Amino acid sequence: MRNFFASLFGALIGIFLAFFLIFIFVVGMVNSAVKSIKKDSTTITSSSSVLEIRLSHEIKERSPERSFNFKLDDNEKVFTENSGLNDIILDIQHAATDNSIKGIFLDLSDVPSGIATVENIRNELLKFKESHKFIIAYSSGYSQKSYYLASVADNVYLYPEGEIFMKGLSAQIMFYKKALDKLGIEVQVFRHGRYKSFVEPYILEKMSPDNKLQTRMLLTSVWDKMLGEIGASRNITVATLNELIDNLTVHTAQLAKENKFVDDLLYPDEVIDKIKTKLSLPATKNISFIGLDDYRETFTPSEYQSGIPKTPLSKIAIIYAYGDIVQGNGNGDDIGSKRISEAIQQARLDANVKAIVLRVNSPGGDALASDIIWREVDMAKKVKPVVVSMGDYAASGGYYIACDANEIVAEPNTITGSIGVFGLIPNAQGFLSDKLGITVDTVSTNTHAAAGSVLYPLMSSEAAVLQGGIENFYHTFLTRVADGRKLTTAQVDSIAQGRVWTGTQALQIGLVDTLGGMKMAIAIAAKKAHITSYTIEELPGMISPLRKLLSRFSGDDAESKILEKELGNMYEPVQELSKAIQMKGVQARMPYQLIIE
């Protein structure tokens, strides 16, 4: 009887899995058909259309596949924009020359993306204005980043009861030492770099003077650039902006208007009337708005990206490396050393690829994984030009994989540098013994067989070996940068020590060559390759939507989603602490994650 029920249960599971896989297969086919029909039929419905840009989603480097996305009506689509930075820039570029697009409507709230990403979009909007088409910005309330973006517009409008929350930049770091002390957990730290402050929360109760110095200089550099550009667009001096912000003068919508932060206070219907006036539309006619995702379906990106006639024998490969650096394949949201290395190798071996642009947006990660990627960059550089384009971050391991390129292009506010390494090994012996009453006994074949276990403190000889490994890798890091940047190791050491810099500062000290975005990096790559006609190939291939869907059924992903929902704003520090505990080997990571609101 027991075998009967076991067989029955197994059969039921098999049937369920079969139906599930069939369902996924059918959904994929239907979705592909819908996408195909949509792509063939998507057109701009008016010769006087307006590109509507909403950036309330996290802007990644590349747009994800638009699969398993069933939209029931046109009103829903504006809330589900999912464009990556590559396509946002492409859409704005194309709109500038598209006679059907008469202007851009920036419908803004918060912009939950890095400051360099926002800066990149703002710069493209500045170029768009050269087409003499209008840009109108509107929000019920601007955050600092969304206002920085909105300030580029010809007209900036605010809801009559809204606000602009300009307060300056600050960096807040949580320290865990006292909590760890109470738990009886000691974190054994190994590092090289006086500014390599990633480890500070585990061994200190507040920021070290060195960390405060670098953080203050970093924030000041970013803030000065933001205010300088806002002031230039709004015709307000930086001194006046700082005074207004320090005194919290602009705390109501009316005060924002009086102090020239906005042009007028309008309700949504009044903003629509303003746009109709720009388009010379009668009051009874609706505006033809088109969102970023749908607009991209109306033209062929591959033909437009080079801006010139395409030739199939000449390609520039753009290799996207974004997220934490890890060993192996990664999951598409991080930089898997195997996956990215294979992409670089593919571009290197392809005779039609004449140059490579490595797009780096990473705060670093596993040091060994970084070196594996560096090796592929070094090999590719010997065959064809390699140009690096930096996004929000190219720090520590992110800079490690970039430093050997022929030329490095960074945004002014790219967080870069952080040349330093560290390692962490928790010692939970006191926690287990004193707090839980758990003791541990061990049998080993050799003296140091249990070295690195969280159940024991390290012996002094073991600690010396680990610190020696840190020193060796730091020297390797210095050598990699010195060779790539044509500097001496002493020169690199003087600007290293784990210190982070903005792109503007990095240009001054020789860590980058030029300030600009992806478009400039591609142009430099083409020039170095001596080509004037080319197409763009994006690598590595995107992780399939089916694989991503299936990953949602895994326990780890489900637990993370639940934890994120329950903890809200506290999820990030908890996640960072969890990552730190699980780190293995030498790490080349930023000292902290800078979040600018």
396 is an active site residue: yes
Q: Name the phi and psi angles at 255, rounded to 5.
A: -65, -35
- Give the tokens for residue 108: 């803004």
Q: In angstroms, rounded to a whole number, what is the distance separating the alpha carbons of residues 304 and 519? A: 12
Given the residues 396, 418, 519, 548, select the one marked as catalytic.
396
Given the residues 60, 102, 145, 196, select the one marked as catalytic.
196
Single-letter residue type at 162: G
Question: What is 436-447 written as a DSSP string?
Answer: T--------SST
Question: What is 8-26 written as a DSSP string?
Answer: HHHHHHHHHHHHHHHHHHH
129-134 contacts, C-beta under 8 A, 24 or more apart: 129/154, 130/96, 131/96, 131/97, 133/95, 133/96, 133/101, 133/102, 133/103, 133/104, 134/102, 134/103, 134/104, 134/278
Q: Which helix (H) or strand (E) covers residue 409, if one does?
A: strand 407-410
Question: Can you tell me whether residue 586 is helix, strand or coil?
Answer: coil
| Rg of the chain in Å (alpha carbons) | 26
The CA–CA distances, whole Å, from 108 to 79, 123, 139, 245, 457 equal 11, 17, 5, 21, 52
| Beta carbons of 262 and 164 less than 8 angstroms apart | yes
Q: In angstroms, rounded to a whole number, what is the distance separating the alpha carbons of residues 396 and 413? A: 16
- Give the tokens for residue 385: 């030009």
Residue corresponding to tokens 């585990």: 202
CA dihedral 279, 282, 284, 287 (to 10 degrees): -10
Closest CA to 591 of 576, 578, 569, 581: 576
- Give the tokens for residue 577: 């602490």
233 is an active site residue: no
Closest CA to 420 of 510, 362, 497: 497
- Residues involved in catalysis: 196, 396
